[in-house]
């Protein structure tokens, strides 16, 4: 199954994610990429830094699978970005995945992924809107890291874009062909280890415990101090 990528470029937009969502042409393969974003947004309505020379884009997929599989898709997109970025830095072994889909370089965030969806009346994922920000040349002063810090060659955001879209196409096709379980194993190979102490911040409060793997839908298992296990489907996690 090939995705026909249709790339629309802008110099400046408020948010590529909103342009895509509001476009009447947002069918599978439609990509919005911008050099600058004035209101780039992240998960939990956080702001996203738009440094010059960074990559900011959003694309649409139409998986038409049940909504419960969204967690798998979220991890698979993170894995696709991770795999693509390996080709752009001198030390690919320093890349790592953090649940659900952050990509870290030596423990610091170099990419953020925002996933939003719309469901059909029968509960299928009609559209998946995937927004990706990659710190190619710059990172915000207070957090994060750029790819350029780990690369001896000059990096072009458009090369990174094409590599990521290529990986998304390849992994998404495997997902559609029933390979989700294998893909989650591949994700786990690049993620924090079982037993890693973590702090989980769901919508409210904080939970501390140890990472205890994924369930078959890509939810996180948190092992609490009393050894009970909690399933987390949406939260930010912090590695301790």
Binding interface with ligand BTN (CB under 6 A): 15-17, 37, 40-43, 46, 48, 56-58, 112-114, 131-133
User: Among residues 17 and 83, whose Cβ is nearest to ligand BTN?
Assistant: 17
Smallest distance from ligand BTN to CB 226, Å = 31
Smallest distance from ligand BTN to CB 6, Å = 17
Smallest distance from ligand BTN to CB 41, Å = 4
Smallest distance from ligand BTN to CB 106, Å = 17
Smallest distance from ligand BTN to CB 113, Å = 6
User: Among residues 17 and 148, whose Cβ is nearest to ligand BTN?
Assistant: 17
H-helix or E-strand spanning residue 82: helix 70-85
User: Among residues 133 and 157, whose Cβ is nearest to ligand BTN?
Assistant: 133
How many whole angstroms separate alpha carbon 7 and alpha carbon 216?
33
The pair phi, psi for residue 76, each rounded to 5°, is -65, -35
User: Among residues 56 and 155, whose Cβ is nearest to ligand BTN?
Assistant: 56
What crossing angle do the helices spanning 180-189 and 70-85 adopt, rounded to 10°? 50
Token representation of residue 97: 């995945």
User: Among residues 31 and 184, whose Cβ is nearest to ligand BTN?
Assistant: 31
Judging by beta carbons within 10 Å of its beta carbon (0-12, 13-18, 19+), is residue 179 exposed, middle or buried? middle
H-helix or E-strand spanning residue 187: helix 180-189
Helix or strand or coil: residue 71? helix
Helix or strand or coil: residue 55? strand
**CA neighbor of 58 nearest in space, from 11, 16, 26:** 16
User: Among residues 142 and 181, whose Cβ is nearest to ligand BTN?
Assistant: 142
The pair phi, psi for residue 55, each rounded to 5°, is -115, 125
Smallest distance from ligand BTN to CB 34, Å = 8
User: Among residues 161 and 210, whose Cβ is nearest to ligand BTN?
Assistant: 161
Smallest distance from ligand BTN to CB 166, Å = 18
Sheet with 125-134: list strands edge to edge: 6-13, 30-37, 55-61, 125-134, 108-119, 102-105, 95-98
């Amino acid at each position: 199954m090939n995705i026909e990528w249709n790339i629309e470029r802008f110099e400046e937009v408020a948010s590529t994610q909103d342009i895509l969502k509001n476009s009447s042409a947002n069918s599978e393969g439609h990509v919005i990429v911008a050099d600058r974003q004035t209101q780039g947004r992240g998960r939990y309505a956080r702001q996203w830094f738009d440094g010059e020379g960074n990559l900011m884009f959003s694309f649409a997929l139409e998986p038409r699978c049940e909504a419960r599989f969204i967690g798998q898709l979220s991890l698979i997109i993170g894995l696709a970005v991770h795999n693509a970025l390996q080709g752009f830095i001198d030390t690919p072994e320093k890349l790592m995945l953090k649940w659900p889909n952050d990509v870290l370089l030596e423990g610091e965030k170099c990419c953020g992924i925002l996933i939003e969806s719309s469901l059909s009346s029968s509960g299928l994922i009609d559209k998946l809107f995937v927004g990706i920000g990659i710190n190619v040349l710059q990172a915000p002063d207070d957090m994060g890291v750029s790819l350029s810090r780990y690369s001896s060659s000059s990096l072009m955001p458009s090369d990174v874009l094409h590599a990521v879209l290529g990986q998304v196409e390849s992994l998404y096709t495997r997902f559609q062909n029933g390979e989700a379980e294998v893909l989650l194993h591949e994700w786990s190979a690049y993620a924090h280890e079982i037993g890693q102490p973590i702090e989980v911040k769901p919508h409210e409060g904080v939970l501390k415990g140890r990472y205890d793997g994924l369930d078959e839908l890509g939810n996180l298992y948190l092992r609490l101090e009393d050894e009970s296990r909690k399933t987390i489907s949406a939260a930010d996690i912090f590695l301790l």
